């Protein structure tokens, strides 16, 4: 069967599905959806459909990125746009089946918005919601809307037309097209993709490899996982195009073992491609052969670095080596190899589908296109977002993210994971592009964006990142192996209240040494969190070192909890909840915390009824409280 | 155990770079990589034991001691860290009387801290066996654990 027939059949099936007289229920069942309880929702839907004797197709889809509203479901009834409902717990799902699917009550009170043509009174268009309005969803266009396990859904929505076009072009013309689009590597470093492909194409040798880097190890990042779970074919199409342009007959996908669902979907997608002749020998009759193997990572962050990743595919310890030679000349098994990130491959497919000029209309001058980010931490609306490059941090955090959780004050945004930096409020209006973020001391990175509020201690957060990089340092080069350990030791002393004058200068010296002297990206960027926090949040370091005070009230060794005698009603709730029995007192007796026993877990603050709010957390000050339980002073 | 292990190695038929997938399969089947397993893999693959152990010990995924019946993984990715993952880990450690990386005396649970599951929007996250629990609190975590036998 040629592709035109495959496409015609897929479109017919898709349209039939759109016109189907049966209701369809789409359930967001990516990893996030499942973590939020999608499995229980699926069971509730099945039960309810059975009870009402209604037939409906239940389809599991990927993530729409509105993680804050998970679990989410979409209901399509014939002749109506899809209605999306958020925070659908099983009982809500049961209700929706009864009210909307079995009867015809749209339940606008539970709806987030609708998708598609038409208008529904009382329900907004989903894409007009503040969270989606500033977004431009190119890479994530299919996520949550098509069945990722059905290749026909992808094809019916324009999928693999980019490959068909590519196969009719010369490899050089494809590379020109990618260059013209302005696409830069989405793994973080931002190297121009077309140029990278060209290096590898021109490298001498007939045996070449391409690799998809899906070893998304940055803590706080899940863009690649969502894309692989929600639309795996978009990545695979890009890989086949790239392989053809570069002249590679073998490809690898190196994916973290921590992503079982993404791996499962990739395996299934490859099988479906084989059936359609989109992979294997003589792809779509072009005479071009290309095979893909999946390699599961075994849990080493450094394997996101390209030379370490190649070593790991070869079955060795994932340790980086010095470059040159670059992988484009000597990579996997010593052969020319081109490595791109998941999102870069998906972008390549889109560029071939729609053309470089179309693509280049999005984004900023030197950073074209869109970028996906995992917007997480202390924002109201966490989620997976896609925005045109050049948008400001403020737009992302406040317009899309809805501002800081519980109306607290913004303190910092961390981009680029452990390799990136923490940017303060004064930089909220800077644009998100490769150059601006680098100038601010951070990096674009793969797309983790973690928001910290006033309750986040920047010294503690920096120590957290160093704990991570120190543990993940492969140990090959001394600047990284020794330097990350030294920085971690100093930071640990500071958060424990044992900081000394001169620590800040010492940290700066070590950070610069590690940055300049390390072999690979891990070491070269590991000091970024230290350097940016010293640059923007130096006062917090000084408070820890000079006044032994943690301004954000986080560092356990520098804080204390007290129960205020004029507020405590002697209700015994905190006493019973304390995991180490550090609270004395009794009924109607003011409770007293034994400071020598207290482990600063904060449980007493959590459980003290808000109308009393008798427990306070302080740092660097003493609160006068009775040393023994005394009768309650001001009964309720 | 001998035959099954040999079969796993044979399935890869001397493919280049197959050591890591072999170790993954062996661990999946036997739960951990025993000294004996490492020594046998080395012989079957015709490489030294030190090389096999060198590779296996480099990656966080491999265990060299028997694990508990259930594995509890507390995520301490950045998002989980700023949303209180550490407190949950502390509480589980206290509740089960086990350190991270260790196994409870009754071999029921193994506890681990991990860097990131990529479910950051639902932080803090705890994963027990293959079930992912999002938006955890100290009390919810304690309750979830009691569901495992």
- The half-sphere exposure of A297 on its side-chain side, counting CA atoms within 13 A, is 27
- Chain A residues with beta carbon closer than 8 angstroms to that of B121: 32, 67-68, 70, 222, 374-376, 382-384
* Residue A461 to residue B81, Cβ atoms within 8 A: yes
CATH for A160-360 is 3.40.50.11540
Domain ranges of chain B: 2-58, 70-145
Per residue in A541-589, pLDDT (tens digit) is 999 999 999 999 999 999 999 999 999 999 999 999 998 999 999 999 9
CATH architecture of the domain A13-128 equals 3-Layer(aba) Sandwich (3.40)
Sheet holding A383-388, edge to edge: A383-388, A370-377, A448-453, A410-415, A421-424
Cα A558 → chain centroid: 32
Q: Which fold has domain A370-453?
A: Ubiquitin-like (UB roll) (3.10.20)
pLDDT at B1 over 80: no
B14 touches chain A (CB under 8 A): no
- Chain B residues with beta carbon closer than 8 angstroms to that of A296: 20-21, 24
Nearest CA in chain A to B73: A258
Q: What is the rounded distance in angstroms from the CA atom of residue A627 to the CA atom of residue A431?
A: 54
Q: Which residues of A467-485 are buried (b: 16+ CB within 10 A; e: fewer)?
A: bbbbebbbebbebbbebbe
Mean pLDDT of A98-122: 92
Q: Which fold has domain A558-619?
A: Alpha-Beta Plaits (3.30.70)
Mean pLDDT of chain A: 94
Q: What is the rounded distance in angstroms from the CA atom of residue A231 to the CA atom of residue A11?
A: 17
* Residue B135 to residue A36, Cβ atoms within 8 A: yes
Q: Which fold has domain B2-58?
A: Arc Repressor Mutant, subunit A (1.10.10)
Give me the count of residues in chain A: 636
Residue owning tokens 């639902």? B122
**CB distance A556 to A462 below 8 Å:** no
* Interface A-B: count of C-beta contacts within 8 A: 148
Q: What is the rounded distance in angstroms from the CA atom of residue A444 to the CA atom of residue A437?
A: 6
- Identify the pLDDT of residue A29: 86
Cα A407 → chain centroid: 23
Query: Shortest CB distance from A450 goes to which of B24, B78, B119?
Result: B78
Q: Could you give the residue ranges of the DSSP H alpha helices within A99-257? A: 151-156, 161-167, 171-181, 193-202, 223-230, 232-246
Mean pLDDT of A60-88: 91
Flag whether the ipTM exceeds 0.95: no
Query: Shortest CB distance from A34 goes to which of B87, B90, B132?
Result: B132
pTM: 0.93
Q: What is the rounded distance in angstroms from the CA atom of residue A148 to the CA atom of residue A102?
A: 27
- At A40, list the tokens: 């229980």
pLDDT-derived band of residue A121, with 50, 70 and 90 as boundaries? confident
Q: What is the rounded distance in angstroms from the CA atom of residue A619 to the CA atom of residue A475?
A: 37
A414 touches chain B (CB under 8 A): yes
**H/E element, A479:** helix A478-495
Mean pLDDT of A63-77: 91
Per residue in B115-133, pLDDT (tens digit) is 888 788 888 999 999 888 9
CATH for A458-546 is 1.20.1440.230
pLDDT-derived band of residue B2, with 50, 70 and 90 as boundaries? low
Query: β-pairing, A23-28 with A56-61?
Result: parallel
Per residue in A443-465, pLDDT (tens digit) is 998 899 999 999 999 999 999 99
Q: B70-145 belongs to which homologous superfamily?
A: Glutaredoxin (3.40.30.10)
Please indicate whether the domains covering A370-453 and A458-546 agree at the CATH topology level: no
């Amino acid at each position: 069967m040629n592709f035109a027939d495959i496409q015609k059949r897929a479109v017919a099936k898709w349209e039939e599905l759109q016109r189907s007289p049966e209701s369809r229920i789409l359930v967001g069942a990516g990893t996030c959806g499942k973590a939020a309880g999608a499995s229980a929702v699926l069971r509730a839907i099945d039960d309810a459909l059975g009870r009402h004797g209604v037939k409906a197709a239940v389809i599991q889809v990927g993530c729409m990125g509105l993680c804050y509203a998970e679990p989410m479901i979409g209901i399509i009834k014939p002749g109506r746009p899809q209605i999306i409902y958020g925070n659908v717990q099983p009982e809500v799902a049961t209700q929706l089946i009864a009210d909307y699917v079995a009867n015809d009550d749209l339940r606008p009170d539970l709806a987030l918005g609708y998708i598609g043509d038409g208008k529904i009174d009382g329900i907004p268009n989903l894409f007009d919601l503040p969270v989606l309005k500033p977004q431009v969803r190119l890479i994530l266009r299919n996520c949550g809307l098509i069945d990722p396990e059905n290749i026909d859904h992808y094809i019916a929505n324009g999928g693999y037309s980019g490959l068909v076009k590519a196969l009719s072009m010369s490899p050089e013309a494809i590379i020109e097209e990618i260059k013209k689009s302005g696409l830069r590597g989405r793994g973080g470093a931002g190297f121009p993709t077309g140029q990278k492909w060209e290096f590898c194409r021109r490298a001498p040798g007939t045996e070449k490899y391409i690799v998809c880097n899906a070893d998304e190890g940055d803590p706080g990042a899940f863009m690649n996982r969502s894309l692989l779970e929600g639309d795996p074919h978009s990545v695979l199409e890009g890989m086949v195009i790239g392989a053809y342009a570069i002249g590679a007959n073998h490809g690898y996908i190196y994916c973290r073992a921590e992503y079982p669902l993404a791996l499962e979907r990739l395996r299934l997608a490859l099988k479906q491609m084989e059936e359609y002749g989109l992979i294997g020998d003589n792809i779509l009759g072009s005479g071009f052969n290309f095979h893909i193997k999946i390699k599961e990572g075994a849990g080493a962050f450094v394997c996101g670095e390209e030379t370490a990743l190649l070593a790991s595919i070869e079955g060795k310890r994932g340790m980086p080596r010095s470059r040159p030679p670059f992988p484009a000349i000597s990579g996997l098994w010593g052969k020319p190899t081109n490595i791109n990130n998941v999102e870069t491959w998906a972008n390549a497919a889109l560029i071939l589908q729609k053309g470089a000029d179309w693509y280049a209309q999005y984004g900023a001058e030197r950073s074209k296109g869109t970028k996906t980010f995992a917007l997480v931490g202390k924002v109201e609306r966490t989620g997976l977002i896609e925005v045109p490059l050049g948008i400001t941090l403020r737009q992302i955090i406040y317009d899309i993210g809805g501002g800081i959780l519980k109306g607290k004050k913004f303190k910092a945004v961390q981009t680029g994971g452990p390799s990136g930096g923490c940017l303060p409020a004064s930089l909220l209006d800077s644009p998100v592009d490769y150059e601006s973020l680098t100038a601010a001391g951070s990096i674009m990175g793969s797309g983790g964006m973690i928001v910290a509020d006033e309750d986040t201690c920047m010294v503690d957060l920096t120590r957290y990142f160093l704990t991570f990089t120190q543990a993940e340092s492969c140990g090959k080069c001394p600047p990284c192996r020794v330097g990350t350990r030294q920085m971690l030791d100093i930071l640990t002393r500071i958060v424990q209240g044992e900081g000394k004058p001169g620590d800040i200068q010492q940290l700066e010296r070590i950070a610069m040494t590690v940055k300049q002297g390390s072999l690979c990206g891990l070491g070269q960027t590991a000091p970024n969190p230290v350097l940016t926090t010293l640059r923007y949040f130096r006062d917090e370091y000084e408070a820890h070192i000079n006044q032994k005070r943690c301004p954000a009230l986080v560092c356990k060794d520098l804080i204390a909890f007290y129960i205020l005698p004029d507020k405590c009603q002697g209700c015994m709730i905190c006493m019973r909840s304390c995991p180490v029995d550090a609270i004395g007192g009794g009924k109607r007796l003011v409770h007293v915390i034994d400071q020598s026993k207290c482990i600063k877990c904060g449980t007493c603050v959590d459980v003290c009824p808000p109308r009393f709010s008798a427990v306070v957390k302080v740092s660097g000050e003493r609160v006068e409280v009775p040393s023994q339980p005394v009768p309650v002073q001001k009964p309720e | 155990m001998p035959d099954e292990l040999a079969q796993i190695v044979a399935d890869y038929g001397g493919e280049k770079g197959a050591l890591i997938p072999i170790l993954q399969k062996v661990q999946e089947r036997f739960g951990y990589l025993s000294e004996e397993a490492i020594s046998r893999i080395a012989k079957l693959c015709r490489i030294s034991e030190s090389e096999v152990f060198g590779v296996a010990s480099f990656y966080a995924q491999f265990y060299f001691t028997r694990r508990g019946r259930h594995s509890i993984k507390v995520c301490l990715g950045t998002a989980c860290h700023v949303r209180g993952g550490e407190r949950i880990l502390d509480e589980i450690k206290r509740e089960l009387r086990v350190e991270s990386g260790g196994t409870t005396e009754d071999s029921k649970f193994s506890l681990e801290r991990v860097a990131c599951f990529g479910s950051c929007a639902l932080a803090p996250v705890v994963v027990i066996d293959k079930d992912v629990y999002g938006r955890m609190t100290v009390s919810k975590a304690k309750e979830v654990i009691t569901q495992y036998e």
